[in-house]
Structure 1
Amino acid sequence: MVTSKTLDYGQPSLQGTIRIPGDKSVSHRSIMFGSIAEGTTTVEGFLQSDDCLSTIDCFSKLGVEITVDGEYVRIESNGIQAWNEPNEILYTGNSGTTTRLMLGILAGSPISSVLIGDESIQKRPMKRVTNPLKQMGAKLIGRENGQYTPIAVEGTSLQSIHYKMPVASAQVKSAILLAALNAEGETVVEEIETSRDHTEKMLQHFGASVSVEDRTIRLQGGQKLTGTHVVVPGDISSAAFFLAAGAIVPNTKLTLTNVGLNPTRTGIVDVLQAMGAKLCINDSENNSHEQMGTIEIETSEVTGTEIGGDLIPRLIDEIPIIALLATQAVGKTVIKNAEELKVKETNRIDAVVNELKKLGANITATDDGMIIEGPTSLHGGELKTYGDHRIGMMAAIAALITSSAVTIDNPECISVSYPNFFEQLDSVVLASL
């Protein structure tokens, strides 16, 4: 295991093309839906990251036949009623998506099981999922009355609910909708802000009828899913790190292909455009109900902006790299309404502020976000990842613009979402000027 990595790029420029690896959220769901569906599902562009492989491992333990060949996955399933009760605990690793969505799936299944994750998952709040599932009749037992894993799930018959979301969370919404597939009656979910809608799109792609009107989703229980072919777009949350680098590293021009452009995920594009970045989107197309395309970005003079409200759910995972981007922008950038960052892999508000301060950034934490004054010249330092992949990638991109080396601990945590991150980064770094 590599315990640290020192990055010393000097004063590089970035030039070239990067094919963005598969979307983590869509990759998770492709395995889940293929396992629930009856028949054969094939997945193209699957992300072979630690998190997504945890999802495959869990469903394999339920007796679903899953074959992985690089980015191509084949799933053979006779549907949820044919699953085997696992003879071992289902380990979800570092994946909050796997943990929370599987709670919804397993709640209405015919089997009993136990879910547990790594040290980080065992600290992340689960009541936001277990509470509405219990309202549907789910039988769940976990630490602190279902707040933390491990959680035991005894599959049972579920009833539909009308649920008003207290937080904007695609994971909570998705867990309820997946449980609703095996519930009696029509389940209605009302969102306070629109969160990523990959679950709704994939329900449609697998043949389910789901109604989406404004922020209200309706799903009738008892529907069967049918195996199909899924094309996974590139992950815009991964692309975000190279988009930010493209804007702030001198003498740079990057082309990012295979980028997912789902409108519920393109907040990073909106922010870059608001800050004045030179960005262009081309070759947009739709596959498996998901939009994708190519983004070109080059060195830009960016200015500060305000980020909050209904924009936050569309870029919640990109805020660490947006904070780094803001250190190079002229003026003040304010990020607010981002309390959800406190319950990610780590408290990302504190983590981002603490680590960027080590590099000389003028950044202050607030109760629901942060304030960054720029532009600031950054120097090197030793940074912590907190075991959080997005903090690790933020630190690596920071090394492109610091005056001396940046050392990051636990670089392997990045493999949770972007296994070939350093390989692709090195492929576009030109020699120091």
Structure 2
Amino acid sequence: MDRSVPPGEIQGELTPPCSKSYAQRALAAALLAEGESTLRNIELCDDTRSAMRCIEALGADVTVVDPHTLKIRGGLAPRGRTLHVGESGLSTRLFTPIAALAGVPLRIEGEGTLLRRPMTMMIAPLRQLGVEVRHRDGFLPFDVCGPLHSATVEVDGSVSSQFITGLLLALPAARGEFTIDVRRAVSTPYIDMTVEAAHRFGAEILHNGYTQFYIEGGQRYRPTDYSIEGDWSAAATLLVAGAVAGEVTLHNVSILSKQADTAVCTALVRAGAELIHEADRITVRRRPLRAFEFDATQCPDLFPPLAALAAACEGESLITGTSRLAHKESDRAETLREEYAKVGIEIDLSTPDVMRIRGGAIRPARVFSHGDHRIAMSMAVSALRSSGAITIEGAEAVAKSYPRFFEDLESLRVN
């Protein structure tokens, strides 16, 4: 689907969708809880739907009470032999160790860009835990058969924290005692989110500075009434839109959230935007923007909105952490360089782990999302300050995390 986004000012208030990261964690915990949990403030983007399919395949009964409320009766009792994770990297790495809890052979299948994303970090730790694993050269599909046995395992955390999340949620429900030694942990705020979600459902996880985790097995997840907070990844894009094209106020987002992408507030302030935050709302207003420096190693999903912010700044901005971008929905660093070149913005990737962006005028062009929801949203934000409309090919990619993104953006338009 093509989507043409014309330039223009924006002003108004929105509530971003719920955090799909918290939603998927909560769905997994609700599966493992015997009894009925209620999840509120949930929105069904593609990734959340993938997690719902997984928990239903693993035995949960899911009832849609209203568009934003689910009731889930938990209980691990697989109804088939296949989990379909769609294009969700988190669902893949989250539900693979949970599937191993079942003690029967299960296959994890994906589609689209996910089939090109490596999953090798799961193989050795699962085998150390006694799981039979078959795979396609480190890529999906995976066949696993548990159960999980007491062990000390070593996990490479340098590519993603998502598999660590899967282990942390699965192991409390296994029998035995477990230690996870993590090498080079990245995206540690996402690990904090996992520990918090497990705690909300009654499971305790201990750790020593993200390098070692201790999990006592045999814990019982408790059914919970859980309201999911707003998504800071979506909020980051909308706040950058306010900073470059007018003013935006967002509701149901707290700067005290454990979500990694709250760090966008630091980048916005460094760039010169006006930022006002209250208990559960935040406002950003456009001001003259200057080049900024920012380390996005722990929050790599911020690269696309930060590219849109840097493109609007006077001078050359420097964002570090590009090594985290190779295995996303696209090679995001190269994709950002390629697509922003089409609209007249130079992105330099010649320095290892560094993205340099020289701000300037945006020209109309036809760009491509590369099937990446965050690229599509980044280009739409930059279109607001273009000299003419930007057409985004593959704009439907936003459904992965924020299906109503374009409608919400249009609702803010004042001219």
TM-score when scaled to structure 2?
Answer: 0.93
**1:261-340 correspondence to structure 2 within 5 Å:** 261=255, 262-265=257-260, 266-283=262-279, 293-308=280-295, 311-313=296-298, 315-340=299-324
Question: What is aligned with 2:355?
Answer: 370
The percentage of aligned residue pairs carrying the same residue is: 29
| TM superposition shift of 1:335 | 1.7
| TM superposition shift of 1:159 | 2.4
**1:173-252 correspondence to structure 2 within 5 Å:** 173-181=164-172, 182-190=174-182, 192-193=185-186, 194-196=188-190, 197-215=192-210, 216-249=212-245, 252=246
SS of 2:230's partner is coil
| TM superposition shift of 1:397 | 1.1
**8 Å Cα contact 2:149/2:175 also seen in 1:** yes
Question: What is aligned with 2:5?
Answer: 7
**8 Å Cα contact 1:304/1:329 also seen in 2:** yes
User: 1:206-256: CA deviations, max 9, x gaps?
Assistant: 11122244324322122110110111011000011111111111xx22110
User: 1:138-171: CA deviations, max 9, x gaps?
Assistant: 2111101xx1001111122322325354416330
**1:24-423 correspondence to structure 2 within 5 Å:** 24-68=20-64, 69-77=66-74, 79-80=75-76, 83-87=77-81, 89-144=82-137, 147-163=138-154, 165-167=156-158, 169-181=160-172, 182-190=174-182, 192-193=185-186, 194-196=188-190, 197-215=192-210, 216-249=212-245, 252-261=246-255, 262-265=257-260, 266-283=262-279, 293-308=280-295, 311-313=296-298, 315-366=299-350, 367-374=352-359, 376-423=360-407
TM-score when scaled to structure 1?
Answer: 0.90
**8 Å Cα contact 1:169/1:195 also seen in 2:** no
**8 Å Cα contact 1:359/1:379 also seen in 2:** yes
Q: Distance in 2 between matches of 1:138 and 1:219?
A: 18
Q: Distance in 1 between matches of 2:315 and 2:396?
A: 34
Moved more, 44-53 or 152-161: 152-161
- Give structure 2 stretches of 5+ with no counterpart: none
Q: Distance in 1 between matches of 2:143 and 2:303?
A: 33
Q: Distance in 2 between matches of 1:302 and 1:377?
A: 13
Question: What is aligned with 1:287?
Answer: none
Instruction: Kindly provide the amino acid, as one letter, of the partner of residue 187 in structure 1.
Output: T
Instruction: Kindly provide the amino acid, as one letter, of the partner of residue 207 in structure 1.
Output: G
Q: Distance in 2 between matches of 1:320 and 1:43?
A: 30
Instruction: Kindly provide the amino acid, as one letter, of the partner of residue 365 in structure 2.
Output: G
| TM superposition shift of 1:380 | 0.9
Question: What is aligned with 1:289?
Answer: none
- Give structure 1 stretches of 5+ with no counterpart: 284-292
| TM superposition shift of 1:5 | 1.4
SS of 2:329's partner is coil
SS of 2:392's partner is strand
User: 1:268-317: CA deviations, max 9, x gaps?
Assistant: 1121122222111101xxxxxxxxx2111100222222222xx521x211
| TM superposition shift of 1:417 | 0.3
Q: Distance in 2 between matches of 1:419 and 1:271?
A: 26
Q: Distance in 2 between matches of 1:108 and 1:161?
A: 17
Instruction: Kindly provide the amino acid, as one letter, of the partner of residue 78 in structure 2.
Output: N
User: 1:4-62: CA deviations, max 9, x gaps?
Assistant: 112223xx211110011100101111111100111111000112101101111122122
| TM superposition shift of 1:124 | 0.4
The Cα RMSD (Å) is 1.7
Moved more, 153-162 or 295-304: 153-162
**8 Å Cα contact 2:98/2:169 also seen in 1:** yes
* Number of aligned positions between the proteins: 406
**8 Å Cα contact 2:193/2:258 also seen in 1:** no
Q: Distance in 1 between matches of 2:144 and 2:254?
A: 34
Question: What is aligned with 1:288?
Answer: none
Q: Distance in 2 between matches of 1:278 and 1:192?
A: 33
SS of 1:186's partner is strand
Query: In 2 relative to 1, CA 164–154 (structure 1 residues): closer, same or farther, beyond 3 Å?
Result: closer
Moved more, 224-233 or 328-337: 328-337
Instruction: Kindly provide the amino acid, as one letter, of the partner of residue 395 in structure 1.
Output: M
Q: Distance in 1 between matches of 2:181 and 2:285?
A: 41
**8 Å Cα contact 2:169/2:198 also seen in 1:** no
SS of 1:418's partner is coil
Instruction: Kindly provide the amino acid, as one letter, of the partner of residue 29 in structure 1.
Output: R
